[in-house]
């Protein structure tokens, strides 16, 4: 997939949830460029819903987190966010750069 924007945030409930660039910044970077906008949007929704329903964060807590993720009170949720961001992406088929073949990596 050529010419994808890594800076665009995919939103859910009016909140900036995740961008492709967020995956480049992970300790083990992932190739979000393989995901089209529709799949990235689905990923954003899954992350939000996981935090809401699996971790039990309220709508207000999620709003506060996604508008100010670096706030001290959001430290615990920040950890949950990064875990879910990675796990959901892997489950949806996103690959780590290290898992790409040499040919695939060179084509990026």
pLDDT in tens, 12-35: 999 999 999 999 999 999 999 999
Calpha distance 8→20 (Å, rounded): 7
Q: Lowest-confidence range among 31-40, 42-51, 65-74?
A: 65-74
Burial (Cβ within 10 Å: 0-12, 13-18, ≥19) of residue 18: buried
Beta strands in 1-108 (DSSP E): 9-12, 15-19
- Number of neighbouring beta carbons within 10 Å of residue 2: 6
Domain ranges of the chain: 9-106
Pick from 23, 7, 13, 20: nearest CA to 61: 13
Distance (Å) of CA 18 to CA 3, 12, 85: 18, 9, 8
The structure tokens 């819903």 sit at 49
Calpha distance 30→94 (Å, rounded): 7
Q: Which comes out higher in pLDDT, residue 54 or 72?
A: 54
Task: Measure the CA angle with vertex 108, ends 102 and 12; round to 5°.
Answer: 125
Q: What's the pTM? A: 0.92
């Amino acid at each position: 997939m050529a010419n994808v924007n890594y800076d665009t945030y995919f939103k859910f409930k009016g909140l900036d949830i995740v961008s492709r660039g967020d995956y480049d910044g992970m300790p083990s970077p992932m190739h979000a460029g393989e995901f089209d906008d529709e799949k990235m949007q689905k990923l954003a929704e899954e992350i939000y819903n996981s935090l809401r329903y699996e971790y039990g964060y309220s709508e207000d807590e999620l709003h506060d987190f996604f508008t100010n993720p670096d706030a001290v009170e959001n430290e615990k949720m920040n950890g949950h966010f990064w875990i879910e961001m990675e796990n959901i992406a892997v489950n949806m088929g996103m690959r780590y750069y290290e898992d790409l073949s040499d040919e695939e990596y060179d084509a990026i």
